[in-house]
Structure formats: C-alpha cells, structure tokens
C-alpha cells in the first residue's frame, strides 16, 4: 500500500507544482537580494539572509527560513488535508477499502507518503537554493580576522565563529531534518481533519486555522503557560543549528512536541476512521 501511495504522490502533477512553487519563492528572494545588494540586517527578517551576501553557502538555510512560516505549512496542510478527504470525494476511497486495504494501513501509508512529500519538498528547496546561492552570491571564502583569507571558512555562525564547508553541510542537514519534522504536527492535524470531512479544502483550512491559532498564542505573553505545548512553538529553533555550540534544548523539545502531535492526531484519525461509515 505504501508503494501505491508513493506512486500516487509521484505521479500526481499537483505534488510537483507545489514543490516547484516552494522552490520558486527563495529564488525570487535571492534575485532581489542579489540585484539590490540590500539584505535585511542580521537578526531581522528571515534568519541568516543577511549572511548570504558574502557567501551563498548559507542560502539553503535562509531559503528554508523564507518558506517555513507560511508556504511550507500551507503545502503540507493541502497535501495532508487531501490524503483521505480527496480519496473520499473522488470516490476512490470506497474502492480502495473494498480492495481490501485495511483502514489503519491506509492511514499509515498516507502518513508515510506525507513524510516523504515533506522531505522531498524541503530537500528540493535546499537543493535549488544551494545552486541559486552559489550562482548569485558565489562561494568565495570569507576573510578571517587578522590572519587573512582561509580557504576553509565560508560562513559565520550566529555566535560569530567560523564555519567550514563541512560545518555548513552538517548544520544545514540538521536544519532540513528539523524543519521536515516540524511540519509533521500540522500534517497529522490535517490528516485527522481529512478523516472527518470529505472536503480536502475544509481539512486543509482547518489545519491552517489551528496553526494560525498556535502562532497567535505563541506570540501572546499571557498564553506563556501553554506555549510549550503548541505545535509552532519550536519551529524557529532550527536556527540553533547555526549557533556555536549547537543548542540542543529547543531542538529536542521541538522534536518531542511534533512526536506528541503526530501520536495524538494520528491516534484520533485512527479511532475515527477505523469505525467510520464511508458514505462518499
């Protein structure tokens, strides 16, 4: 079943359109920054964007920062919201279940497909933005302190220390993984809603509403008591990969909270879907 779901994902033109759009936005940002040579000051705007003017190798991380707040979650919500509701509204759900495909198996296959989609999307963004960064901003080594140019230093961490290409690669890989995992919570919510309704749109919008609520509460001081439990609370913690040393605390909590959301909402989806009357 997993193989079938993956084939469906890959053969569906929509998946690739979404990924292409995701890749396009950072390229647009890169072009503007490269042409005007005006980047937001460090610490403001999308993280790390200020650093790319001197060397493009941090641009994959900056590109992820650009798509992370809105575009990526919207894409994930759309794909996850469509997972079951889309099958229901096209009528394929009843034929799949009569095949038979176990309902729990179907859900798990959908989740795995979703994870694959997120990974492909994030890697595609990272890959295209790496090329964009190299082409538009170059990859010349940056000057190091008083000792002059060291060929081995291509970027600076948030803590002001030098990063070698290997450092940048490892940290970017860490950030990509963390961002992909960060999307799982919203994916699980959308998947659950997708089993409630046969409208993909309603499921996707429901998940986005949950995200926006979470975002508002995270920013609200008086909601500080609940903020550690909100799905978007640790989204921006991927920046911690670019500190020296890497601060794992928020990253670990981000992983944990996404795990909890996946467990809870996948469980709810399972409880609802496994005994649901399929009338579509």
Partner 1 sequence: MIVTSGLTKRYGTLLVVDDVNLDVREGDRYGFLGPNGSGKTTLVRMLLGLVYATSGTIEVLGRPVPRQISAVLPQIGALVEAPAAYSHLSARANLAMIDAAGRRPPGRRRDRRRRIGDALDRVGLGGINDRPVRKYSLGMRQRLGLAAALLRSPRLLILDEPTNGLDPRGIHEVRTLLTELNAAGTTVFLSSHQLAEVEQLCTRIGVIDRGRLVLQNDLGALHGQTGRVVVRSADADQAAAVLGRRVAEREGNRLVVTDADPAEVNAQLTAAGLRVTEIWPERRSLEELVLSVTTGSSDRFDGADRAARRPAAAQTAASTAGEPAGTGSDAGSSGDVTADSGESAAGR
Partner 2 sequence: MRVVSRQARRRWVSVAAGTALLCGLPALVGAWPVPVAAVSVAQLRARILSSAGVPYQGYVESTVDLGLPSLPDVGDVTSLLDGTTDQYAWYLSAADWRADVLTTAGETDTYQSAAYGTYEWNYGSNLLTQIVGSEPVRLPRAADLLPPALAQRLLSYAGTATRVSPLPAERVGGVDAAGLRLTPAESTSTISAVDVWAVPRTGLAVKVEIFGRDSTTPVLVSQFLAVSLTRPSAAILTPELGGGVNFATSTLPEVTRILHGYGPELPSSLGDVARVVGVPGLPDLAAYGSGLARFAVIPLPPSTGQSLIQAATTAGVTVQLGSGTGVIIQTPLVTVLLSQQPTGPIYLLVGTVTATELERAAQWLPEYP
Interface with partner 1 includes 10 (CB under 8 A)? Answer: no
Q: Residue 72 and residue 13: Cα distance in Å, rounded?
A: 18
Under a CB-based contact definition with an 8 Å cutoff, are residues 62 and 49 in contact? Answer: yes
Q: Residue 144 and residue 156: Cα distance in Å, rounded?
A: 10
The nearer residue to partner 1, 5 or 167, going by C-beta atoms, is 5
Under a CB-based contact definition with an 8 Å cutoff, are residues 64 and 176 in contact? Answer: yes
**Contact set with partner 2 (CB under 8 A):** 41-48, 50-51, 54-55, 65, 141-146, 150, 153-163, 221, 224, 229, 236, 239, 243-245, 247, 249, 260, 263-264, 267-268, 270-271, 274-275, 277
Work out how close the CB of 249 gets to partner 2 at its nearest, in angstroms, rounded to a whole number. Answer: 5
Work out how close the CB of 11 gets to partner 1 at its nearest, in angstroms, rounded to a whole number. Answer: 7
Near partner 1 by CB under 8 A: residue from 100, 145, 148, 245: 100
Near partner 1 by CB under 8 A: residue from 10, 28, 31, 94: 94
Positions 166 through 205 that interact with partner 1 (CB under 8 A): none
Report in angstroms the alpha-carbon separations of 269 from 27, 95, 141, 157, 265. Answer: 37, 20, 50, 41, 6
Near partner 1 by CB under 8 A: residue from 112, 120, 205, 278: 278
Q: Choose the stretch contacting partner 1; rule: CB under 8 A; options: 91-99, 132-140, 207-215, 222-230.
A: 91-99
Q: Which among partner 2, partner 1, none contacts residue 12 (Cβ within 5 to 8 A by kind)?
A: partner 1
Q: What share of the chain is helix, strand, coil (3-state, %, to 5)?
A: 75, 5, 25
Positions 66 through 85 that interact with partner 1 (CB under 8 A): none
- Residue 39, Ramachandran bin (φ over 0: left; ψ between -120 and 50: alpha; else beta): beta
Positions 117 through 156 that interact with partner 1 (CB under 8 A): none
Cα–Cα nearest to 58, from 77, 42, 70: 42
The nearer residue to partner 2, 14 or 140, going by C-beta atoms, is 140
Interface with partner 1 includes 96 (CB under 8 A)? Answer: yes
Under a CB-based contact definition with an 8 Å cutoff, are residues 263 and 244 in contact? Answer: no
User: If you write DSSP's letter for every residue of 171-207 in order, what string do you get?
Assistant: HHHHHHHHHHHHHHHHHHHHHHHHHH-S-HHHHHHHH
Q: Which among partner 2, partner 1, none contacts residue 90 (Cβ within 5 to 8 A by kind)?
A: partner 1
Pairing of strands 155-156, 162-163: antiparallel
Can you give the C-alpha Rg of the chain in angstroms? 20
Task: Number of residues interacting with partner 1: please give it, by CB under 8 A.
Answer: 25
The nearer residue to partner 1, 3 or 37, going by C-beta atoms, is 3
Q: Rule CB under 8 A: which residues touch partner 1?
A: 1, 3-4, 7-8, 11-13, 90-92, 94-102, 105, 275, 277-279
């Amino acid at each position: 079943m997993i193989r079938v779901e993956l084939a469906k994902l890959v053969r569906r033109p929509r998946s690739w359109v979404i990924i292409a759009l995701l890749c396009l936005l950072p390229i647009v940002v890169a072009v503007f920054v490269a042409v005007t040579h005006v980047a937001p000051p460090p610490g403001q705007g999308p993280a790390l964007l200020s650093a790319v003017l001197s060397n493009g190798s941090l641009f994959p991380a900056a590109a992820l920062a650009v798509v992370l707040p809105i575009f990526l979650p919207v894409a994930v919500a759309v794909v996850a919201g469509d997972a079951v509701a889309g099958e229901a509204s096209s009528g394929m759900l009843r034929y799949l279940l009569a095949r038979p495909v176990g309902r729990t198996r179907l859900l798990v296959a959908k989740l795995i497909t979703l994870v694959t989609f997120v990974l492909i999307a994030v890697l595609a963004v990272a890959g295209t933005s790496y090329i964009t960064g190299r082409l538009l901003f170059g990859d010349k080594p940056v000057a190091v302190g008083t000792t002059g140019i060291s060929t081995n230093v291509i970027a600076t961490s948030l803590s002001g220390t030098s990063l070698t290409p290997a450092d940048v690669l490892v940290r970017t890989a860490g950030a990509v993984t963390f961002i992909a995992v960060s999307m799982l919570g919203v994916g699980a919510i959308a998947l659950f809603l997708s089993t409630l309704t046969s409208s993909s749109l309603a499921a996707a919008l429901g998940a986005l509403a949950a995200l926006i609520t979470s975002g508002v509460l995270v920013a609200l001081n008086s909601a500080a008591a609940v903020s550690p439990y909100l799905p978007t609370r640790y989204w921006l913690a991927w920046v911690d990969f670019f500190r020296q040393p890497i601060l794992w605390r928020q990253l670990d909590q981000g992983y944990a909270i996404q795990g909890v959301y996946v467990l809870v909402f996948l469980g709810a989806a399972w409880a609802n879907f496994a005994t649901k009357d399929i009338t579509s």
